[in-house]
């Protein structure tokens, strides 16, 4: 019973973290039309910021500084936003497909830095000993309390994203997305608007990274898998319905539940089949994306509203 509760808690916590990522991507793509395929880079910035700030001091990497999480998380969000400033300033003038390629390249550079700059990130060894909030409550209540915290953060991000979408700023973003020339004629500055949306979305991703690092209690370059982050979050947003914040959250939870369920099914198979099941899952993710694009391009909760 307790094991089942812990398993469910883990899945829901990770679903919440993906929901934060998907909300950030929805601000960028759904609302503003920015094709960011480098969520991984901003997630890494937030994750390493939170990890280094909260971990105990170690010779393996910069710091750690032993801060409490509630002080470190805002800094992690700021780290994602700060990294987005130069990236956005350099690349947001690009067309959608060029931006996609440039952001993938940017995320790869972040991965190289995380792997090679030992003094900063601990290199391949990563940062260990990251404290998880509420650990003192023991099992199973510690993880449950952490899940509630993640849920609270996601609810806050959702409220913020909704408020943004319905504000004059959000309307201006949609105007830039749908007809840049008309927005310009109405006196809007598309470049500045895009940059603000890009930075805000990246802050969401940084916060998601912080929650991820504190949940795992360890963070290293192996956690930076483009398929499981940058690309999976696209599948989630498209499945849920890009443009809709509710869709982003629903897509994240639904796709992650499927991902985790297939993981569980694979674990029931004999060992040699289990590794193949992971590849089969990769195939199904690709196929699911095609089916959604062909059959219901607007996603579960459609409309780029």
Q: For binding to another protein (CB under 8 A), which residues are involved?
A: 35, 90-91, 93-94, 96-98, 100-102, 104-106, 108-109, 112, 115-116, 227, 231, 234, 238, 276, 279-283, 285-290, 293-294, 297
Please report how close the Cβ of residue 97 comes to another protein at its closest, in angstroms: 4
Q: Between residues 13 and 91, which has the closer beta carbon with respect to another protein? A: 91
Minimum separation from the CB atom of position 35 to another protein (A): 6
What is the smallest separation between the CB atom of 116 and another protein, expressed in angstroms?
A: 5
User: Does residue 217 contact residue 130 with C-beta atoms inside 8 Å?
Assistant: yes
239 upstream amide cis, omega within 30 of 0: no
Residue 203 · residue 82 · CB < 8 Å = no
State the sign of the Cα–Cα–Cα–Cα dihedral 141, 144, 150, 156.
negative
Helical spans, DSSP H, in 65-221:
69-91, 96-116, 118-121, 141-166, 168-178, 180-185, 190-216
DSSP 92: T
CB of 88 to another protein, least distance (A): 13
Is 99 or 203 the residue whose CB approaches another protein more closely?
99
Q: Which residues contact 31 (CB under 8 A, 6 or more apart)?
A: 164, 165, 170, 173, 174, 177, 197, 243
Q: CB of 294: closest distance to another protein in angstroms?
A: 6
CA atoms within 13 A on the CB side of 99: 20
Q: What's the min distance (Å) between Cβ of 47 and another protein?
A: 20
Q: Could you tell me the smallest distance in angstroms from the CB atom of residue 303 to another protein? A: 15
Complex with another protein: residue 144 or 197, whichever CB lies closer: 197
Backbone dihedral angles phi then psi of residue 34, each to the nearest 5 degrees: -95, 120
**Residue with Cβ nearer another protein (61 or 177):** 177
Report the distance separating Cα 80 and Cα 76, nearest Å. Answer: 6
Beta carbons of 244 and 158 less than 8 angstroms apart: no
Nearest residue to 114 via CA among 247, 252, 242, 229: 229
CB 271, min distance to another protein, A: 14
Query: Between residues 182 and 291, which has the closer beta carbon with respect to another protein?
Result: 291
Q: Which is nearer to another protein, 6 or 285 (CB)?
A: 285
Question: 233 near 18, Cβ under 8 Å?
Answer: yes
| Residue nearer to another protein on the CB measure, 40 or 102 | 102
Of the pair 22, 211, the CB lying nearest another protein is at: 22
> Tokens 């927005």 — which residue?
183
């Amino acid at each position: 019973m307790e094991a089942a509760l812990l398993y469910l808690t883990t899945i829901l916590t990770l679903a919440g973290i993906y929901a934060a990522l998907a909300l950030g991507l929805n601000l960028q793509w759904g609302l503003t039309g920015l094709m960011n395929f480098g969520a991984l880079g901003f997630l890494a910035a937030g994750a390493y910021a939170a990890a280094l700030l909260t971990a105990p001091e170690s010779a393996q990497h910069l710091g750690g500084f032993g801060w409490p999480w509630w002080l470190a998380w805002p800094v992690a969000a700021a780290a994602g936003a700060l990294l987005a400033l130069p990236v956005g300033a350099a690349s947001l003038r690009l067309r959608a497909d060029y931006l996609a390629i440039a952001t993938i390249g940017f995320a790869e550079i972040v991965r190289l830095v995380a792997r090679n700059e030992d003094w900063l990130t601990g290199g391949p060894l990563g940062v260990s000993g990251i404290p998880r909030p509420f650990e003192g409550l023991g099992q199973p209540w510690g993880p449950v309390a952490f899940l509630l915290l993640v849920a609270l953060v996601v609810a806050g991000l959702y409220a913020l994203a909704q408020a943004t979408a319905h504000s004059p700023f959000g309307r201006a973003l949609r105007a830039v997305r749908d007809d840049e020339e008309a927005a310009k004629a109405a006196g809007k500055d598309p470049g500045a608007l895009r940059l603000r949306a890009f930075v805000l979305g990246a802050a969401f991703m940084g916060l998601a990274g912080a929650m991820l690092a504190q949940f795992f209690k360890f963070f290293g370059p192996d956690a930076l898998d483009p398929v499981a982050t940058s690309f999976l979050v696209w599948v989630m947003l498209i499945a849920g319905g890009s443009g809709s914040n509710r869709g982003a959250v629903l897509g994240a939870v639904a796709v992650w539940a499927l991902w985790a369920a297939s993981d569980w099914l694979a674990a029931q198979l004999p060992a040699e089949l289990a590794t193949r099941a992971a590849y089969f899952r990769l195939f199904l993710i690709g196929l699911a994306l095609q089916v959604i694009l062909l059959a219901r391009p607007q996603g579960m909760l459609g409309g780029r509203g």
